[in-house]
Structure 1
Amino acid sequence: MSALSRVTPHHVAAALLALGVVGGSLADTHPPTEPERRGDYLVLRADFHAHTRFSDGFLSPLELPLVARREGLQALAVTEHNLVFPSQLARSWSELVGGPIVLTGAEITTRRYHLIAVGIERTVAWDQPLAAVIADIHAQGGVAIAAHPARAFWDEYAPVMDELDGAEVMHPIAYRGESPNGWRWEDMVAFWRRANAAKGRPVAAIGSSDYHFFKALGTMHTYVFAKEATAEGVLDALRDGRTVVYDLDGNALSAHPELIELLRAEPFRDDLKPRAYAAEGALDAVARTLGWLGLAGLLLLRRRRAPRPAGA
C-alpha cells in the first residue's frame, strides 16, 4: 500500500487547517512597536507571565507572539507550567515572523509556591527544595521571579528571599480585590518590599498578565530599562532590578527611583486598546480560505463518523 493511499479525508482537512493557520500567521504583518529611549536605556514594554494550550492556556506557542506583537509588547516570556519547550517553539516562531523578543521560561508550579523562571533552556524539576530550584535556574543563566506571591506562599519563600531576582507586584488579582483562595494584591506588593529589604541588591518589580484566556495579554506589564534590545539585555536588566511597574492608582514601583524620574519627565506612550488581526492580500485570502475549508471539513467528518459497535 502506497503512502498516498493511506491519506484519509481527515488528513486532508487537518492539513488545510494547518496551512491556513501558518499562512495567516505569516500574512499578519501588524508592525512591531520599537523600544523608546530614556536616558541611557532602551525601555521595553514586557509581559513575563503567559501560558499556552500545552496546559491551561488558550493560544498555541505560535499564536502567542503574534498577539503580543499586536498588543505592542516588545518582550514576552512564555512560562508554561513546568515545561520549557513551548517557550522555545514560541521563540523560534517569533524570530521567523518578526515578533517581539521571546524569552524562554516556565512557571515552576507546586502547591507550596509558584515561581517564574525566565531565560532557562531546560525544564527545572519542581519536586525538589525551593533553594535547589532557584539554584538550577541561576545555573542556567536565568532569573527567578516570585509569581503572584500571596501570603499563603510566604513561609516557603522566607528562607530564600535573598535569592530572588524579582517578584510580581501587579497581576490581574489587583482588579478583583481578593481572589476566592484569599490571594490579595496588597500582599504581593508587601512581599516585594520585604524582598528588597532582605536582599543586598535590588529586586525587580514585575507586572504580568498571567495570560491564559479572556483578558488582554500585556494589560499588566513591566517597563524594562535595558542597555540593548535583546533577550540577554532584558535578563541583565532583570538581574539589576531595572524595571518600573505602575499600580492601579498610577503609582510607580521600582527598585531604582531614578528610573521612575525618567518616566515622569517623559511618560511612556501607552496604547492598551486591543489590536485586530492585520493582514491583507493574496496570501491572507488563500490562508483564510484553506483554514476555513479545513475546519469545516473536520467538523463535517466528525459528524459523519459512524458510532462504534457496542463492546468494540
Structure 2
Amino acid sequence: MKTTNVLITAALLAAGICANAQETLPKQIKAGKERVKARKEIRLPEIDGYKLLKCDFHIHTIFSDGIVWPTLRVLEAWEEGLDAISITDHIEGQPARPAIEKGNHNNSFEMAKEEAARREIILIKGGEITRSMPPGHLNALFVKDVNALDQKDYMKAIEEAHNQGAFIQWNHPGWGVDSIMWHDVHETLFRKGWLNGIEVFNEFEWYPVALNWVNEKNLTLLGNTDVHDVTERLYDFRTTSHRPMTLVLSKDRTEEGIREALFDRRTLVWFYDTLMGKEDLLKKFFQASVEVKPVHHTTPERIYRSIVNHTDVPFLLKRTDKNANGYPETIEIPAGETILIVLPKTGSQPVTYQVDNMIISPEKRLQVQLF
C-alpha cells in the first residue's frame, strides 16, 4: 500500500511540474519574416523635357482568362517600378467561372482603382475586343464604359471605342496565324482613324513585319506582357531586370499625359536588354543616358577615358568604321556602371558605332559617334 501511495504521489508531482512547464512555454515561436514589399526604382533619362513613364497596356485578370485578382495586378506593377497599367480583360472571351458573374466588363477596373490610387499607379480603363483574324484582337484604352463595346458586330464595337475617345491598338498580330498579314479590314480601320497603334512586342516575341507597318504608316509602337499568370511566374527576374513594357514620353505623370503621348506616337518599347523605336527618340535616349568623360590620362601612344551609363538599360556597341585602327571593335556599357576605354592617341575621328540593342527597323540599328 505504501508503495502504491508513493507512486501516486510521484505521478501527481510530475503532472504538476508538466503543467507548470506548459504555462511557461511561449504561445508561439516565430521563424523568419515576411518579405519586405518595396518598389523597384527604374532609372531612365528625361528626353526633351518629357518624362519616360513605364507602362503595360495589356494585362488580364480572373475576370477574363487570367488567374489573379485585379488588385494584385496593381501591386505587381508598383513593386516592379511601373507608372501605369491597363487591365484589358477579354470582352468576348470569358471562360465560365461558377463563382464569378459574367456581364459587367468594368468590374476589374472598379476593383483595382482604389489600390491604384493608394500606390500612385495610373490605372487606365480598357478592354480587349477579341475576334478571330481578321481583325484579330484589339485593345481599346481610355474608354469610359467597356460594356458598350460588347457588340455582335466587331466594326460597331470598334466604332463605339473610337467614339468614346479610345486609343485602339492591334494586339499580337503574329499570334495564332500562319503568316502575318495586313488585311483589308486593317486598312479600313487605319483610314478611318480607328487603328492607332500596333503591339509589336507581346510576352516573349516581336514581329518584324509589324514594326515595318508602324514605321511605314506612322502608327504608335507598343510592347506589353499580355500577362495572364503572376508576372513573377511568367518572367524569370533572375535573368532579366524588368517585364517588357512601353515607355511613354509624357509631359507629366498623368493619364491625360499618357493619352496625348500615345496619340502623338511618342513611345519606345523596352524588352529584356533591347530598345525599339523611332531613330530620333532612340538617339536622344542614348545621348541622355551615356556620358563620355574627358581624357584623364595619356601615354605616348594611348589616351584613357571613362564612359558612364546613368540608366538601367545596357548598351551593346559594335564598330562600323573598318579603318579606325586601335579603337575597340565592341563596347559593352552595363546598366548603371562606368567603363574605362583605352584609345589611340591619334586616329580617325569621329568613329561610328552601331548600337546592336537599339532597333529602328528589322534591318537597321542606331548609329552613334562616341569619340
TM-score normalized with structure 2 length: 0.55
Q: Which whole-Å CA distance do the structure 1 matches of 2:110 and 2:311 have between them? A: 30
Letter in 2 for 1:225: L
The equivalent of 2:167 in structure 1 is: 143
3-state DSSP of counterpart to 2:268: strand
Q: Which has the higher strand share?
A: 2
Cα 1:121–1:45, aligned 2, differ >3 Å: closer, same or farther? same
Coordinate RMSD, CA, aligned: 2.8
Matches within 5 A, 1:1-312: 30-31=38-39, 33=41, 37-82=46-91, 83-95=105-117, 97-112=118-133, 113-123=136-146, 124-130=149-155, 132-150=156-174, 151=179, 154-155=182-183, 156-162=185-191, 163=193, 164-174=195-205, 185-186=206-207, 189-198=208-217, 202-213=218-229, 214-216=233-235, 219-246=243-270, 250=274, 252-254=276-278, 257-267=279-289, 269-270=311-312
Q: Which whole-Å CA distance do the structure 2 matches of 1:126 and 1:37 have between them? A: 41
Q: CA deviation at 1:59?
A: 1.5
3-state DSSP of counterpart to 1:266: helix
Q: Deviations over 1:141-174 (max 9, x none)?
A: 2200000012456324232134311111111241
Q: Which whole-Å CA distance do the structure 1 matches of 2:275 and 2:85 have between them? A: 23
* Aligned structure 1 segments of 4 or more residues deviating by more than 6 angstroms: none
Alignment check: 8 A CA contact 1:51 1:210 kept? yes
Q: CA deviation at 1:204?
A: 1.1
Alignment check: 8 A CA contact 1:205 1:244 kept? yes
TM-score normalized with structure 1 length: 0.65
Alignment check: 8 A CA contact 1:88 1:104 kept? no
Q: Which whole-Å CA distance do the structure 2 matches of 1:59 and 1:46 have between them? A: 19
Q: Which has the higher helix share?
A: 1
The equivalent of 2:102 in structure 1 is: none
Q: CA deviation at 1:36?
A: 5.1
Q: CA deviation at 1:52?
A: 0.4
Alignment check: 8 A CA contact 1:114 1:146 kept? yes
3-state DSSP of counterpart to 2:113: helix
Cα 1:247–1:136, aligned 2, differ >3 Å: closer, same or farther? same
Cα 1:115–1:219, aligned 2, differ >3 Å: closer, same or farther? same
Q: CA deviation at 1:65?
A: 0.4
Question: Which 5+ residue runs of structure 1 have no aligned equivalent?
Answer: 1-23, 175-184, 272-312
Q: Deviations over 1:70-102 (max 9, x none)?
A: 11111111111113331232223210x224111
Larger radius of gyration: 2
Question: Which 5+ residue runs of structure 2 have no aligned equivalent?
Answer: 1-33, 92-104, 290-309, 314-371
Q: CA deviation at 1:64?
A: 0.7
Q: Deviations over 1:257-311 (max 9, x none)?
A: 322122111337338xxxxxxxxxxxxxxxxxxxxxxxxxxxxxxxxxxxxxxxx
